[in-house]
Amino acid sequence: MVLLQVMYTDLDFIAAFNIEPAVLHHFLFEVYRRYNNIPFHNFKHCFCVTQMMYGLIWLTDLKSKMDSEDLLIMLTSAVCHDLDHAGYNNAYQINARTELALRYNDISPLENHHCAIAFEILEKTESNIFRNLSMNQYKRIREGIIKCILATDMTRHNDILNKFKSILTAFDFTNKEHREVLMMILIKVSDISNEARPMEVAEPWLDCLLQEFYNQSDVEKLEGLPVTPFMDRDKVNKPSSQTGFIRFVLLPLFIELANLFPCLEQHIIHPVRKALDYYTEMEKALEREKVIRAQ
Ligand SMILES: COc1ccc(NC(=O)[C@H](C)Nc2nc3c(cnn3-c3ccccc3C)c(=O)[nH]2)cc1
């Protein structure tokens, strides 16, 4: 948590929002406690997403383009975005008619839950880092965090990306709606950006993700529920699922963001293109092996 604390300090949130260090520590400890020990959606994932968000804020010089409230919304949303994730995605929640699906009427049940847990923590005085804010500031920050966390539901991926594309040509930092879409894009980029990291860091994350996905599809098979193909251990081909993800999801998203911040080309697009080459090579090696074994 100390590293997360440094990020709040470095971005001058302590001074700007009169956040007491003890309260920040309490908040981050509660967040740490409310993430679960599952292969992928654990506290380490929360840290990676927050660290990526922090890096993007500095790389794009957002401090000079957006006010502190928006930056506080982005960092806090990253910290809280997967709180109490149990390793079963929205499709499972809805198909299995879980308590979450029932409570949130099948509308982004997980993301609604992550956000509700975040504000449960923030309701407690000892961990409410917003307790010295005015009512208006609190309302604005709460609205922003809800929008950002709910935007991490991948079923909304294309809608959010298309909205961003439509405003890109005339992006206006003084336009509230433009800023909101950009904040959603930035938390989405941070959330799925493992492949922008060195391969020795990125590949283990994919193995952890597949572990979580395989665990879910095993349960779905046991419970006679529909199984998502890219989660089925009998169907998933790791390199080809990842080349598909990088080509059709990751690169298009990162390229759009780089249209607004060209410096990101070298920092996140270049490494992802190298990751695509790596998994494409792995795919070919697997194919060759299959041919040899088939003979
Ligand atoms: C449009 O909705 C989608 C699109 C793609 C996927 N996931 C995939 O294609 C596969 C499993 N690969 C993948 N999925 C990833 C990564 C990072 N986050 N992430 C992920 C994790 C949980 C839920 C959704 C996603 C994209 C990654 O590096 N690879 C999941 C949902």
* Closest alpha carbon to 85 in 253, 213, 241: 213
41 among known catalytic residues: yes
Closest CA to ligand 1's atom 15: 192
Pocket test for ligand 1, best of 46, 82, 90, 154 (most atoms within 8 A of CB): 154
Closest CA to ligand 1's atom 5: 245
Confidence of residue 12 (pLDDT cuts 50, 70, 90): very high
- Condensed to tens digits (0 to 9), the pLDDT of residues 123-176 reads 999 999 999 999 999 999 999 999 999 999 999 999 999 999 999 999 999 999
- For residues 26 and 33, the answer to whether their CB atoms sit within 8 Å is no
Q: What is the pLDDT of residue 294?
A: 84
Considering only CA atoms, give the Rg of the chain.
20
Q: What is the pLDDT of residue 178?
A: 98
Alpha helix ranges (H) inside 124-156 = 135-150
Q: Is 224 left (phi over 0), alpha (psi -120 to 50) or beta?
A: left
For residue 291, the tally of other CB atoms under 10 A from its CB is 9
- For residues 231 and 211, the answer to whether their CB atoms sit within 8 Å is no
pLDDT beyond 90 at 2: no
* Closest alpha carbon to 233 in 248, 220, 246: 220
- AA identity, residue 260: L
Question: What contacts 217, CB < 8 A, 6 or more positions away?
Answer: 227, 228, 231, 232, 233
- Condensed to tens digits (0 to 9), the pLDDT of residues 51-88 reads 999 999 999 999 999 999 999 999 999 999 999 999 99
Ligand 1 pocket list (CB less than 6 A): 154, 157, 192, 194-195, 206, 209, 230, 241-242, 245, 249
Ligand 1 atom, smallest distance to 158 CA: 1
Q: Please give the average per-residue pLDDT across 24-42, as a whole number.
A: 98
Ligand 1: centre distance to CA 245 (Å): 7
156 exposed, middle or buried (CB, 10 Å; 0-12, 13-18, 19+)? middle
pLDDT beyond 90 at 194: yes
- For residues 246 and 276, the answer to whether their CB atoms sit within 8 Å is yes
- For residues 186 and 243, the answer to whether their CB atoms sit within 8 Å is no
Question: What contacts 78, CB < 8 A, 6 or more positions away?
Answer: 46, 49, 50, 52, 53, 54, 187, 190, 191
Ligand 1: centre distance to CA 239 (Å): 13
Ligand 1: centre distance to CA 98 (Å): 22
Q: What is the pLDDT of residue 46?
A: 98
Q: What is the pLDDT of residue 295?
A: 82
- Condensed to tens digits (0 to 9), the pLDDT of residues 198-254 reads 999 999 999 999 999 999 999 999 999 999 888 999 998 899 999 999 999 999 999
Question: What contacts 289, CB < 8 A, 6 or more positions away?
Answer: none
Q: What is the pLDDT of residue 1?
A: 77
Which token pair is 102? 């029932």
* Closest alpha carbon to 160 in 142, 177, 176: 177
ipTM (interface predicted TM)? 0.93
- pLDDT, mean over the chain: 96
Question: What contacts 127, CB < 8 A, 6 or more positions away?
Answer: 23, 26, 27, 29, 30, 121
d(CA 268, CA 245): 15
Q: What is the pLDDT of residue 229?
A: 86
Task: Please name the helix (run of DSSP H) or strand (run of DSSP E) that holds residue 248, with its range, or none.
Answer: none
- Condensed to tens digits (0 to 9), the pLDDT of residues 255-274 reads 999 999 999 999 999 999 99
In the set 41, 45, 113, 114, the catalytic residue is 41
Q: What is the pLDDT of residue 260?
A: 98
